[in-house]
Amino acid sequence: MSARTVLLWNRLPSSLSQRGRAGFLIHARSYMDDGFKRPSYRGGRNPNFNNRNRNNNRYGGRDRVQRKEHDEDDHASLSKSIPATLIHVPKQADAPEVTLDTLHNDGVLHKMLYKSISRMGFPGLTPVQQMTIKPIVESLDQDVIARAKTGTGKTFAFLMPIFQHLLNSRTESPYMVRAVIVAPTRDLALQIESEVKKIYDNNYGLEKFGCISLIGGTNFSQYMKKMHSNRPNIVIATPGRLMATLERFSNKFFKHVDFLVLDEADRLLEIGFKEDLESISRTLNENNAAGPDHIRTLLFSATLDSKVQSLAGNIMHKKECLFLDTVDKNEPEAHEKIDQSMVVSENFAHSVCAAMDHINNKIASSPNYKAILFSPTVKFTQYLSSILRKKFRSQLPILEFHGKIDQKKRTNLVKQFKREKSGILICTDVGARGMDFPNVQEVLQIGVPSELANYIHRIGRTARGGQEGASTIFLCKDELPFVDELLHRRNVTIANKEEYTPLNETIEGLTSETDPQELSDVIISVLSFFRTAIKEYRFKENRLLPNVASAYGILLGDKEAKIPIYDRDMLQRLGMRNSSLTSKMFDLQGSAAQESGYERSNRGSYQNQNSYHRNRGNTRSQRYNRDGDEQFSFNRDRRSNSFHDRKFYQKSQGENPRYDE
């Protein structure tokens, strides 16, 4: 072996087998040189870069040697321009099993923590827990990225090392926040908090390491009072509320942070969230009493790719980063225990019929049927909830879950659906990531998700904690390019395909009692959604949009009926012009059709509908946000103006539109 290979060999976590290390070395060559960008310190140079604990690590001064390898003749290179080294540790099939007992016996896990987790009665540690706990506890000077499939216990994989760290350093800054965990949705933050409480419940001795969740939709000053009185060591937060807290109290509580964890990291590093995460990381690091490169950053998700690695450059501050990967390079990220199906029909409206028939059959054939149904927008979720309630309410609970529901109600319905033995939760992508509802048999989707990775997260709400599950996506024929994208970009194949044509009676069942005004609102919201998904999924605009628009007539029971549009601005907000395409889709009237003589008074109740959209949009195009609501978009093709647009929107709306802060 060359000197460099020996060096690498010795630096690998001792938990790896010989073959595992050999496998790593093969991977290492391709990864070592890609690396990360260093964080951008003001003044272009990290002031502490040269003088902190460089040799104080378990690999015995590797940093100095590593630096020599990289920059033999460039000693000025201790600046931010040097990318951090990415050490990729691949999945190893033959790795010896790591158990709670071995971790305890090796001195990795403290007795108190060992007892707490043992009492939970898990049959063993999951692959991600086996792979990450020891390196996070022991590799003090490395950031960590961990990829593991949905429902495989990533939450405990980062909580256990955090508790171990608190136990290791219990006398240091006991009244300060030591770990900050960021989650993209309020419900996920609350769920992580309840996982922490499970650790307390199984060993009260750990309660002294207090925890608090800071999320939007709650009383800020009340929570700040709790921060003052409880002095928690662990903060679990959504980005918006965390920024607000740091703005006022970063010096008081956050000067001794050791860990920053990003759960659903790829989501948090998307445009929109990313600027906030960079600002959070900058504030935490600049204020840190131990210096600006002290905090270790841990990124966890089921969907991570090279884009995330480079996006995290300004958030991760260590010189080395371990990429602990439990998914093979060529293996799909979707969980293998999910039996995936798609049902393809002619029209978007038929997908609704197909889903209704499917649910009907399932309720009849499976006792305790528990499913989650994903929908593209808030309005469509409301519509689906109302038709499902009408039909199935007497048989099982039907729950509606999206970002427009008041937080208290939302928290209660999450608790309820976790408890229920059967039921259907209808939700937007706000429920796609991280939520752990026990015993969900099946995930249903009408229409495509808001981003490709969310397909994997959506279906991952089933087959959790070692169970099996099924998923069915209902697509119209013009949504099929999505399936190709899924294969080409995520290597995910939907194994089972079925074609569907609705019976007349199914359509009739839906059309009765449908309010045209409401339905027009619903379909416009879906059109808005698809309009922004065109680039992402390579849809054919001229086919897909008329297909979705015609769902209005079909679901109304009058195939010829078109969505009435009275206002020219409305078309603009949908990002469309008066053209042959729009006249195919809409019944253009009044100013929309540029008819000067049109009597406003004749517009009837539709006027409200269009002014509603006018008030909600801003002066530019109205689009879809990922919390499932239609509004100004900071979406896929927003690179050029995203930040300003978001600020503009916030100002005009007096709220933060996009996130679930």
Ligand X SMILES: Nc1ncnc2c1ncn2[C@@H]1O[C@H](COP(=O)(O)OP(=O)(O)OP(=O)(O)O)[C@@H](O)[C@H]1O
Name the minimum Å distance from CB 164 to ligand X.
16
Instruction: Give just the sign of the alpha carbon dihedral 411, 414, 418, 420.
Output: positive
Cα separations in angstroms, 555 against 511, 522, 620, 630: 5, 11, 30, 21
- Tell me which residue has tokens 């896929």: 636
If one asks whether residue 436 binds ligand X (CB under 6 A), the answer comes out as yes
Using CB under 6 A as the binding rule, whether residue 302 contacts ligand X is answered as yes
Residues 6+ apart with CB under 8 A from 506: 353, 356, 357
For residues 401 and 606, which CB has a smaller minimum distance to ligand X in the complex? 401
For residues 319 and 461, which CB has a smaller minimum distance to ligand X in the complex? 461
Segment near ligand X (CB under 6 A); pick from 311-319, 362-370, 462-470, 484-492? 462-470
Give whichever of 16 and 125 is closer to ligand X, judged by the CB atom.
125
Of residues 195 and 275, the one with the C-beta less far from ligand X? 195
Query: Does residue number 132 form part of the binding site for ligand X (CB under 6 A)?
Result: no
Residue 49 and residue 293 in contact, taking contact as beta carbons nearer than 8 Å: yes
Strand partners, 445: 374, 473
Check residue 131 for interaction with ligand X (CB under 6 A).
no
Q: Does 317 bind ligand X (CB under 6 A)?
A: no
For ligand X, which residue of 403, 434, 553, 590 counts as binding (CB under 6 A)?
A: 434
Shortest distance (Å) from residue 135 CB to ligand X:
17
If 0-12 CB within 10 Å is exposed, 13-18 middle and 19+ buried, where does residue 540 land? exposed
Nearest to 362 by CA among 236, 240, 472: 472
Cα 242 to Cα 237: distance, rounded to the nearest angstrom: 6
Contact letters for ligand X, residues 134-163 (x by CB under 6 A): --------------x-xxxxxxx-------
Q: How far is the CB of 463 from ligand X (least distance, A)?
A: 10
Toward ligand X, which CB reaches closer, 96 or 466?
Answer: 466
Candidate residues 460, 469, 617, 628; the one interacting with ligand X per rule CB under 6 A: 460
- In the shown chain, the binding pattern of residues 475 to 514 toward ligand X, with x for contact by CB under 6 A and - for none, equals ----------------------------------------
DSSP 373: E
431 binds ligand X (CB under 6 A): no
The first and second tokens of residue 262, run together, are 């990003």
Nearer to ligand X, 245 or 462 (CB): 462
State in angstroms the smallest separation of the CB of 332 from ligand X. 14
465 forms part of the interface with ligand X (CB under 6 A): yes
Nearest CB to ligand X, comparing residues 358 and 464:
464
Q: Is 129 in the site for ligand X (CB under 6 A)?
A: yes
| Ranges within 58-77 binding ligand X (CB under 6 A) | none
Secondary structure class of 9 (helix, strand, coil): helix
Closest CB to ligand X among residues 125, 473: 125
The yes or no reply on residue 326 touching ligand X (CB under 6 A) is no
Q: How far is the CB of 300 from ligand X (least distance, A)?
A: 7
| Tokens coding 584 | 């195919």
Q: Is 15 in the site for ligand X (CB under 6 A)?
A: no
* Residues that contact ligand X, how many (by CB under 6 A): 19
If the CB atoms of residues 136 and 148 are measured against ligand X, the closer one turns out to be 148
Is 46 or 129 the residue whose CB approaches ligand X more closely? Answer: 129
Displacement of CA 416 from its chain's centroid (Å): 22
Smaller CB separation from ligand X, 137 or 524: 137
Q: How far is CA 411 from CA 156, 189, 403, in A?
A: 21, 11, 11
325 contacts ligand X (rule: CB under 6 A): no
Nearer to ligand X by Cβ, of 126 and 472: the residue is 126
Q: Is 193 in the site for ligand X (CB under 6 A)?
A: no
Q: If DSSP codes are grouped into helix, strand and coil, which group holds residue 435?
A: coil
Q: Find the shortest distance in angstroms from Cβ 367 to ligand X.
A: 22
Q: Which of 486, 600, 610 is nearest to 538 (CA)?
A: 486
Q: Does 527 bind ligand X (CB under 6 A)?
A: no
Strands 296-301 and 320-325, bridge-based pairing: unpaired
**Strand 423-427 vs strand 370-374: parallel, antiparallel, or unpaired?**
parallel
CB 222 within 8 A of CB 179: no
Q: Considering only CA atoms, which of 446, 433, 449 is closest in space to residue 304?
A: 433
Q: How many CB atoms lie within 10 A of CB 328?
A: 11
What is the smallest separation between the CB atom of 235 and ligand X, expressed in angstroms?
Answer: 19
What would the x/- binding string for ligand X be over residues 107 to 126, using CB under 6 A? Answer: ---------------x--xx
What number of CA atoms fall less than 13 Å from residue 18's CA on the CB side? 0
Query: Which two structure tokens, joined as six digits, stand for 294?
Result: 């002290």
Between CA 47 and CA 61 the distance in angstroms is 20
Packed helices 378-392 and 516-537: angle between N→C axes, nearest 10 degrees: 120
Residues that bind ligand X (CB under 6 A): 122, 125-126, 129, 148, 150-156, 302, 434, 436, 460, 464-466
